């Protein structure tokens, strides 16, 4: 794929697609950490002789983190040491006016791309290029730089649509991630252990089958919401756990456990909130509808032993609500088990990156990526739409030479 140096971009208007989707403090709604925003500034600095229009999403519709990007623009300004303009618009008259009035060296951040309905759907490259979002904007850009590695698994218009119409290259984060991951995959050794937590159940289920089939997961340690799905499939939780299309997810989990009976490890105890305090109970003692907020001590000990005896450990998604100190034991303990392991260790996702910073053990992990679902699918051997978009443009570019 092409890099920034391969395109003549000086003085041009460049659309830079990044992923600065950031965890929020539950009580204040403020940005919890700036890892992804810090990463985005590397490409922005290297585009300092251009007019840069930055695009990103934040959260999903219906969730507490589905907010405008004004805070993100302020954080970018602070890190870059210069003003980053913010348009509370995506492709309307105000956004177009701000794009067309940019001068060399100036940076403009568009508002949350997912405020536009099309950005929440997936398309083929040609279909994506014909969406309203891309058609309204692409004529105002000279080139596209794709640097949203954490969103590389999404075939959204902003990821694959502009590359169909404009000169396109990889940003610094994408290049760095692919180099590091290819190196790590080359030297990694069995047994392979995958620790899956967090709230993105559908992405995790999609990748598990491929991870195991491709011999990238000899053991899968489950926690977070995905553990609840498997616990329900194993009939250890009988009540609804509140997920969209829950029956289908549970059915898929049941098939996976039947296909790979010795692979999955489920929590034996969990932490819940009772009288506003952390209480650890056996899974069998959960009350109807009770919310699981962390894994318990017995599960932590069991999982930690497996992690320390593994040749390669990959962890994606926190085991519990670590933002609340009462429910951070599982996240901190498993990360510390990885840090003390002699195996190759990979940690993915913005929440876990924030947790490593908070616990002061980031430097003890071999590779830390702010990508979550994209990294899971990459390690599972899946083709990622963003990477395919870059490769496709590179092929077109070489044919013109």
- pLDDT tens by residue, 225-251: 999 999 999 999 989 988 888 999 999
pLDDT of 93: 97
CA distance readout (Å), 328 to 172, 224, 277, 297, 321 = 32, 12, 13, 12, 6
In CATH terms, 4-176+383-400 corresponds, of 1.10.3720.10, 1.25.40.340, 3.40.50.1260, 3.50.50.60, to: 3.40.50.1260
- Burial zone of 357 (CB within 10 Å; 0-12 exposed, 13-18 middle, 19+ buried): middle
* 289: CB partners within 8 A, 6+ apart: 239, 240
Helices (H), 151-295: 157-160, 172-187, 201-213, 224-233, 246-259
Are 201 and 173 a contacting pair, CB within 8 Å?
no
| Spans of the chain, pLDDT less than 50 | none
* Fold matches, 4-176+383-400 and 190-342: yes
Alpha helices (H) along 86-200: 93-100, 125-129, 132-137, 157-160, 172-187
CA angle 37, 197, 233 (to 5 degrees): 145
* Domains of the chain, residue spans: 4-176+383-400, 190-342
Pair of tokens at residue 205: 């289920």
* Residue whose pair of structure tokens reads 């003549």 in the numeric block: 8
- Per-residue pLDDT, 216: 86
Best CATH choice for the domain 190-342 from the list 3.50.50.60, 3.10.180.10, 3.40.50.1260, 3.30.565.10 = 3.40.50.1260
Q: Structure tokens of 360? A: 């002061």
- Residue 35, pLDDT score: 87
Per the omega criterion (within 30 degrees of 0), is the bond before 191 cis?
Answer: yes
């Amino acid at each position: 794929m092409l890099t920034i140096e391969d395109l003549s971009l000086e003085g041009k208007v460049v659309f830079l697609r990044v992923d600065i989707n950031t965890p929020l403090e539950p009580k204040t709604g403020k940005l919890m950490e700036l890892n992804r925003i810090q990463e985005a500034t590397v490409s922005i600095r290297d585009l300092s002789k251009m007019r840069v229009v930055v695009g990103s999403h934040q959260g999903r519709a219906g969730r507490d983190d589905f907010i405008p990007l004004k805070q993100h623009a302020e954080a970018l300004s602070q890190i870059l040491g210069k003003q980053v303009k913010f348009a509370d618009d995506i492709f309307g008259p105000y956004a177009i006016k701000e794009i067309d009035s940019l001068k060399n060296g100036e940076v403009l951040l568009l508002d949350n791309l997912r405020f536009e309905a099309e950005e929440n759907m997936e398309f083929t490259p040609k279909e994506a290029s014909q969406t309203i979002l891309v058609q309204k904007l692409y004529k105002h850009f000279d080139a596209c730089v794709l640097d949203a590695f954490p969103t590389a698994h999404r075939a959204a218009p902003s990821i694959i649509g502009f590359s169909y119409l404009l000169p396109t290259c990889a940003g610094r984060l994408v290049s760095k991630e692919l180099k590091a991951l290819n190196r790590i995959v080359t030297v990694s050794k069995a047994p392979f252990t995958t620790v899956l937590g967090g709230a993105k159940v559908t992405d995790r289920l999609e990748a598990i089958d491929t991870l195991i089939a491709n011999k990238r997961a000899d053991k899968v340690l489950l926690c977070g919401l995905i553990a609840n799905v498997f616990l329900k499939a194993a009939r250890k939780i009988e009540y609804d756990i509140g997920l969209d299309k829950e029956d289908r997810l549970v059915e898929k989990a049941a098939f996976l456990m039947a296909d790979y009976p010795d692979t999955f490890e489920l929590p034996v105890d969990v932490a819940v909130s009772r009288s506003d305090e952390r209480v650890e109970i056996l899974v069998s003692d959960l009350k109807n509808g009770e919310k699981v907020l962390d894994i318990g001590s017995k599960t932590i000990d069991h999982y930690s032993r497996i992690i320390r005896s593994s040749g390669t450990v990959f962890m994606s998604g926190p085991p519990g609500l670590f933002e609340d100190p009462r429910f951070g034991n599982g996240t901190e303990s498993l990360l510390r088990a990885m840090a003390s392991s002699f195996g190759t260790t990979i940690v993915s996702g913005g929440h876990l990156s924030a947790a490593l910073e908070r616990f002061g053990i980031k430097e003890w992990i071999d590779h830390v990526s702010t990508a979550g679902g994209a990294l899971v699918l990459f390690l599972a051997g899946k083709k990622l739409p963003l990477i395919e978009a870059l490769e496709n443009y590179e092929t077109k570019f070489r044919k013109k030479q």
